[in-house]
Chain A
């Protein structure tokens, strides 16, 4: 097989792109398998070392934080609960509100939709103090509910679901009506199965969004039991080592690698659905 010059060029660009994405991760992983002394003296590593089990074991089980109450494993659980809760509720709520906006022709549907849309301009960071005030007045600080609830509304997802529902032909709804489907059944039996792809895609995006939240959990949680992975990245393995101790670079890299796993897993598991839906249109 002969390559044309243009093809060779495009391939080189693609390969460079891949390297650009993969190398930093590989460096982090390789470095996370070395002990702190060699990292300190020799810098970042390209080849694997021998401290893999030690470092990863340390990361998962050592108690950290100021009061030494929380382990990284615990933070992973917290992050997972938070991301799962946010993603699930975001998808459910925005699918349902889009359903209301598209199929129930009430008077103010359009203004309401734009009102929801405008909230895109007001991210959590902008409204962080009012949000904190409300959550703390409700006594929800240091709870999972408090971590999840203020983040479950999503204008983006509502918008995407709305656009998708608008492409579903009216005849389908009419036919379902004649077949005796009420509004609830139409949602469950028709819209949800038809938007499987959308659901998977939205779930992926929202999971990653929830997982990577930093500011909100930082403000919300004073109890270390509720710390999340992303917060921990700043905090863990940095304290208690003043002066003479070596920075625990190996463990920190191990921690970073581990923190990437859950979102990667979610993408890998759901992408099959996602891609399948993209290829075979069911309409």
Chain B
């Protein structure tokens, strides 16, 4: 039995919206799992149901062997870091961190020790007497984390905690969260709509769309073998190229280009996906296209082009000399393509 088990979880809001639909998931002790998906996909709702902040319409959640559906949030032994930190504005940093412990009737001395230890760990021990309004965004973030850590919960829940920080701080905090999680080994669930955060933080990633889990896997699995068209498009930057095509006897027809897939499949309406950096550009490539636009990104550049009327992009080293309007030659290798059936949206 897994540490945290979700079984056929469904959430229907009173107004009839189905936020989460028949979701099942097992999370092991110590794992760092990231829920990722576009906004409104139900990932936050799922997290809030684990926290106990939303009722569960159907299904069962069990934590450490106990069903927690009807257990009060405070007794589930979970800690949550909110998007806006939700620090208590009228309390000092110390009291913000100590409040949950006080409510559990822990002795003053022990609270002091715990808060001080965690404050040192997060390097906020100089700020303990300050009010949240006197802290910077990054410091508030640390206090919010400290408040979660000090309670020593079974699970950490992060609800897009980095989205209010500027880009530089976000990267820094991301690393820090990862480091802390490794160090403490506490099971964590992190909700985000940012695929970079998902890829870098997660031991496993759960991609959610429209209240349904599209794929669960390690970042590598998700990236290299997306189960559905949605996952293929959602993960990876720049986005994977998807060509609508007809497959006849293992040959994909995209406009006038033919790609040999080295199999004998026949699909009337398919999508052929290839990542922009998997398109092989070389002088003796089989296909020729015109670079409509070249985007220079420093070490890399992105070329926007068209096959027939379907746009696509390739990413390559900016050492190659190629300008807008130039023609280039490329190959698409069957080993690097992803095939999806357009009617079901799933991988074939």
- The residues of A with any CB-CB pair to B shorter than 8 Å are 169, 171-172, 174-181, 185, 189-190, 193-194, 280, 282-283
B296 at the interface (CB under 8 A from A): no
Contacting pair A179 B51 (CB below 8 A): no
A279 CB to closest chain B CB (Å) equals 12
> Nearest 5 pairs between A and B by C-beta?
A179-B100, A180-B74, A180-B103, A171-B86, A175-B86
Contacting pair A283 B86 (CB below 8 A): no
Quick one: CB contact mask for B64-101 with A, threshold 8 Å, 1 for yes? Answer: 00000000011100111011101011100000000110
Contacting pair B103 A282 (CB below 8 A): no
Contacting pair B80 A175 (CB below 8 A): yes
- The residues of B with any CB-CB pair to A shorter than 8 Å are 51-53, 73-75, 78-80, 82-84, 86, 88-90, 99-100, 103-104, 131, 133, 147, 151
List 13 A–B pairs whose Cβ atoms lie within 8 Å, in order of A's numbering: A174-B80, A174-B86, A175-B82, A176-B88, A176-B99, A178-B79, A180-B100, A181-B103, A190-B90, A194-B90, A282-B89, A282-B90, A282-B131
B147 CB to closest chain A CB (Å) equals 8
Contacting pair B103 A185 (CB below 8 A): yes
B82 CB to closest chain A CB (Å) equals 5
Contacting pair A177 B89 (CB below 8 A): no
Contacting pair A194 B84 (CB below 8 A): no
Residue with the greatest number of chain A CB neighbours at <10 A, chosen from B79, B99, B104, B147: B99
List residues of chain B with CB within 8 A of the CB of A178.
51-53, 73-74, 78-80, 100
List residues of chain A with CB within 8 A of the CB of B83.
171
In the complex the two chains form, what is the Cα distance from A193 to B90 in whole Å? 7
List residues of chain A with CB within 8 A of the CB of B100.
178-180
List residues of chain B with CB within 8 A of the CB of A189.
99
Residue of B nearest to A185 (CB): B103
Q: Is the interface of A mostly helix, strand, loop or mixed?
A: helix
In the complex the two chains form, what is the Cα distance from A172 to B73 in whole Å? 14
Contacting pair A283 B89 (CB below 8 A): yes
Contacting pair B133 A179 (CB below 8 A): no
A27 CB to closest chain B CB (Å) equals 45
A81 CB to closest chain B CB (Å) equals 32
Seed contacts A179-B103, A180-B75, A194-B89; 6 additional CB < 8 Å A-B pairs: A174-B73, A176-B99, A177-B53, A179-B147, A181-B74, A190-B88
Residue of A nearest to B153 (CB): A178
List residues of chain A with CB within 8 A of the CB of B89.
194, 282-283
Contacting pair B88 A172 (CB below 8 A): yes
In the complex the two chains form, what is the Cα distance from A282 to B90 in whole Å? 7
In the complex the two chains form, what is the Cα distance from A8 to B311 in whole Å? 69
List residues of chain B with CB within 8 A of the CB of A177.
52-53, 73-74
Partner of A169, one of B52, B53, B80, B84: B84
Partner of B86, one of A169, A185, A193: A169
List residues of chain B with CB within 8 A of the CB of A176.
88, 99
Q: A169-B84, A180-B100 are in contact. Are A174 and B74 (CB under 8 A)?
A: no
List residues of chain B with CB within 8 A of the CB of A171.
82-84, 86
List residues of chain B with CB within 8 A of the CB of A179.
74, 99-100, 103, 147, 151
